[in-house]
Amino acid sequence: MSSGFGNFSDDFFINMDLHTSLPLPQGRETVLQFCENVQKQFPDMTDFHQRENGEYVLEGDRGSGAYRWLGLEMRRLSTGAFNPSEAEIAYEQHEWVLDRSRYFLGVSHLDVESLDLVYGFNLDCVGNRDEIVHEALISGSRLATFLNEANAVALNFEPAFVIALNDDCSLQARLAIETRNSSYQVRTGIYDEEPISIYFTIRAHPCPSQQFDLVGSLAEQSRIAEEYIVRVILPNVVRPIASAIAAAQ
């Protein structure tokens, strides 16, 4: 089922973000030892550097079109697979990082604030990307009347929704769209070639009554996410936007 997700967009990625309540280790020896072990498992991740905001990054060759990456911040551990041939490649990577984080970074179930599994679909587009989103998702609805005013032009149409998937709201789903338009582009009609990005996230929070199982939660989140993507996200969000882009070219 999941192996074909990338067929519906120009680029596709699956990221994982572990948010912690306490700061993660930032010492030189600990960070290097952790990243060295990551690299042993994934030899294509050869570029190690620290960004201006302090985040440590280990990643593969971005120019190859398909690569892995890992980021370590003060209270967030992230890992991603960009354009994986199948989703299982990303899941195995995320699971490995989560499992090793206990030994190298001292991550405990007591320290988990939330665990995010993020699916991203990038659809390349030249033109008013806000207008594309309006046409694909909002046109014909009651919200569309907002754009019916004289001389109105779509600007910053980036809907985002969050829903709870269980009674205690410990499991949530978020859908967000990013258009990357600017008022300058809309005003001048000169648009950069940027993608419309569709982000679908399943977030899990620990339940007070039970111990949080990182790897087990990741597996459950991926199962739920794939079901939603196939049933809701692809037919009702990704495909309509892709069709609107094609019609506007």
Count of domains forming the chain: 1
Q: Would the pLDDT of 151 be above 90?
A: no
Which pTM value belongs to this model?
0.95
HSE-up (13 A, CA, CB side) for residue 209 = 2
- 150 or 165, which is more confident? 165
Q: Would the pLDDT of 1 be above 50?
A: no
Confidence band, pLDDT 50/70/90 cuts, at residue 154: confident
Domain ranges, residue 235: 2-248
pLDDT tens-digit readout, 178-234 = 999 989 998 898 998 899 999 999 999 998 878 999 999 999 999 999 999 999 999
Between strands 47-50 and 112-125, the pairing is: unpaired
The SS3 of residue 124 is strand
